[in-house]
Structure 1
């Protein structure tokens, strides 16, 4: 049994690895693979082609202003107040056996001590998230992939001024806030069918200008740096005495370390470790704006809709749907997004393209990062929820330091924190 091997594993510090397998094809996996390859590891990235992973399909926002973990008692009532169709939160009742046990762990993570530890750990990553992105785009010789002009948040409701004031007074860490003036509000209202009443500009945030280009450029640079990309799916991980063996759909591989960055699939590769991931599904619609939209990227807060311009295209994203990755998407979510687009009067010069994707979310809304205590050759890099794109490069930085130099990570990120399924305690 793998669990027996886990408990029998040597817990002494391991020497720096010469070879690493990185499992996964999203932003976390690709940034980690490149960072390790740059530091003279022999890295193999194991990932089947995926033209639209969650890191491609989201709003492209580098959300440095989101410093607080979502697992807190103040958030929990939103499941009722913002439940679809009133708001963006949805429960897939056909997947209740998946998200119901997860929800009990979520409530436990809302206890004050857990929230304090989680906020402190997340803040530590967020303070370095944008600098890590800037460093990455320079490494890729593609500074054009990162737009540093920030984002605006807009309110339409009668209490818009009060909501904007609350946003201005909140702690946003490295992000800074400025109220939008009358001229800036008027610029939006000239372009919108439904007027907005107040807005706040968030500087110190950013967005990706082309998510597909980011992923493709990362992979190309990784391969040009000497890395190996195996178009395969990892099936099983087996710790051995001095290596780790990974069974894939293209044969078996061994290495000194393996980094598990498979998003919602990560738990299936760690069958004896508790990995309470839920698929937090998001939806988007995308279309050609016909050259008619030049305004800043915007969050329409009262609608929970983010509108991002990617060149000639506009994308509207929303929804937090708790489900299983394999469950069928709900067309009503796309219909609601398209209704928001029409109500706002956004320019539409093409049919809508529809997408859905599963963000990997753990109950405490923190990623699992670092080596397993009882299997130190296996390294976790999953559970980044809606912050995967934001935290991709900084995750690569802290994990490479952990793997190569033994730099410890906050215990709040420990992949062992949910225990072992087979009854062994931490």
Structure 2
């Protein structure tokens, strides 16, 4: 059976590796993120099956002025990254046109509909079903007008397999008890979920991979051309799969693919979780564009969409504002805070890239999952395994072909 080398050991790469091993392949993952610092392990832990409407939409474009970081919002366009976000933004505007937006919804919806069942199967397969919680999540508002508008907006939005319910009186009381002032309104989603602890997930996936005979190679994955094929430096593999997150751009463009991907940088702060209810699902404070997630050993507040450079230094103002949100709301979260910043791999139409290369006969790819990397990892792995085997994936992959940007 052919051997496969995977560049990238994040959640997508590990899930794909396990799927391929279970299909009888020999698999090596090449990854230099020994500390688990990538976006796979620093996100909000949310299984976001409700996000079937791509962020590349005209409603999002119209709301940009109110969302700017300089006006108190979560969206930042660093001047130093002008050369990155201007061309990205022009492509986003094209993707946001109504006809293209509808195509994006049609592509994302079946992926997300299969995401939770795929996660259930993966959690069982790696022997860690307790890491998956299917308790939904809350969205809360403290201004009455914002609550009415927000509730109506979510009720009219397409949410796929997730359902929206008005919070009960007991739930509203619980959410009000988290802050210094009562909640004006809240909704609860059912059908969504969370990972109970991202570091435990990382360790469980790595153990399941190596227990099946997979090899982890602790080095930076580099490609080289060998005729009509590619090779990974230092790894003997018949086929290659690129799952390298934001680094996928340089790897794919080296082969001649057009990959207009940007580093969509997100920030979080973590602190001791002793005062946050242990069984509370993730809570989105929508007026502050912040999601708070209770993990087993910490509580985390996350926010911000910063369209910038992969290697630019973090902006401490983002962490300071997150900590200020926590303080101003009076949340039961106390420092010292542990600060993190990571880069989501985002394509301008907010769809992933999943397919087979037209530049090298043995190259496959699965990257660009933006905010949905954790959510889509197991279903992406299933699609990749079928594709590599030469079979028919359960969903058409044409909408995710990187050639759409050629």
TM-score (normalizing by structure 1): 0.90
Going from structure 1 to structure 2, the CA distance change for 1:22 and 1:314 (only over 3 Å counts) comes to same
**Cα shift at 1:50:** 3.6
Tell me what 2:7 maps to. Answer: 23
Going from structure 1 to structure 2, the CA distance change for 1:376 and 1:117 (only over 3 Å counts) comes to farther
Going from structure 1 to structure 2, the CA distance change for 1:195 and 1:20 (only over 3 Å counts) comes to same
Tell me what 1:108 maps to. Answer: 94
Please point out which of 409, 412, 420 is paired with 2:399.
Answer: 412
Q: Which deviations, in whole Å up to 9, do the C-alpha atoms of 1:83-118 show, x marking residues without a partner? A: 003210000110111111111111122233322222
1:259 aligns with 2:241: yes
Listed as ranges, the gaps of 5+ residues in structure 1 are: 1-16, 420-426
Going from structure 1 to structure 2, the CA distance change for 1:317 and 1:37 (only over 3 Å counts) comes to same
Contact 2:111 2:376 in 1 (8 A): yes
Tell me what 1:202 maps to. Answer: 189
The within-5 A match list for 1:242-321 is 243-247=229-233, 251=234, 253-270=235-252, 271=254, 272-294=256-278, 295-321=280-306
Give the Cα separation in 2 of the matches to 1:107 and 1:348: 38
The within-5 A match list for 1:232-243 is 232-241=219-228, 243=229
SS of 2:381's equivalent?
Answer: helix
Q: Which deviations, in whole Å up to 9, do the C-alpha atoms of 1:130-180 show, x marking residues without a partner? A: 000000000011111011111011111231133213323332110012111
SS of 2:310's equivalent?
Answer: coil
Tell me what 2:380 maps to. Answer: 395
Going from structure 1 to structure 2, the CA distance change for 1:377 and 1:185 (only over 3 Å counts) comes to same
Contact 1:238 1:246 in 2 (8 A): no
Going from structure 1 to structure 2, the CA distance change for 1:325 and 1:304 (only over 3 Å counts) comes to same
Give the Cα separation in 1 of the matches to 2:132 and 2:320: 30
Contact 1:309 1:315 in 2 (8 A): yes
**Cα shift at 1:349:** 4.1
Q: Which deviations, in whole Å up to 9, do the C-alpha atoms of 1:187-239 show, x marking residues without a partner? A: 22123113211111101000000101111111111111011111111122325
Going from structure 1 to structure 2, the CA distance change for 1:194 and 1:364 (only over 3 Å counts) comes to same
SS of 1:45's equivalent?
Answer: strand
Going from structure 1 to structure 2, the CA distance change for 1:112 and 1:190 (only over 3 Å counts) comes to closer
Give the Cα separation in 2 of the matches to 1:167 and 1:262: 33
SS of 2:257's equivalent?
Answer: coil
Contact 1:289 1:350 in 2 (8 A): no
Give the Cα separation in 2 of the matches to 1:301 and 1:145: 26
Tell me what 2:66 maps to. Answer: 81
Give the Cα separation in 1 of the matches to 2:181 and 2:264: 30
Tell me what 2:141 maps to. Answer: 155
Q: Which deviations, in whole Å up to 9, do the C-alpha atoms of 1:239-279 show, x marking residues without a partner? A: 535x53122xxx3x342211101111111112221111100
Listed as ranges, the gaps of 5+ residues in structure 2 are: none
CA RMSD in angstroms comes to 1.5
Give the Cα separation in 1 of the matches to 2:221 and 2:277: 42
Q: Which deviations, in whole Å up to 9, do the C-alpha atoms of 1:256-307 show, x marking residues without a partner? A: 2111011111111122211111000000000003244343320011110000
SS of 2:405's equivalent?
Answer: coil
Give the Cα separation in 1 of the matches to 2:55 and 2:306: 15
Tell me what 1:336 maps to. Answer: 321
Contact 1:290 1:349 in 2 (8 A): no
Contact 1:67 1:173 in 2 (8 A): yes
Please point out which of 181, 187, 193 is paired with 2:180.
Answer: 193
Give the Cα separation in 2 of the matches to 1:292 and 1:129: 28
Q: Which runs of 4+ in 1 moved over 3 A?
A: none
Going from structure 1 to structure 2, the CA distance change for 1:307 and 1:292 (only over 3 Å counts) comes to closer
Contact 2:46 2:282 in 1 (8 A): no
Contact 2:276 2:294 in 1 (8 A): no
Contact 1:293 1:347 in 2 (8 A): no
Going from structure 1 to structure 2, the CA distance change for 1:124 and 1:149 (only over 3 Å counts) comes to same
Tell me what 1:424 maps to. Answer: none
**Cα shift at 1:181:** 2.0
Contact 1:239 1:375 in 2 (8 A): no
1:372 aligns with 2:357: yes
1:93 aligns with 2:79: yes
Task: Number of aligned residue pairs: give it.
Answer: 398
Contact 2:276 2:299 in 1 (8 A): no
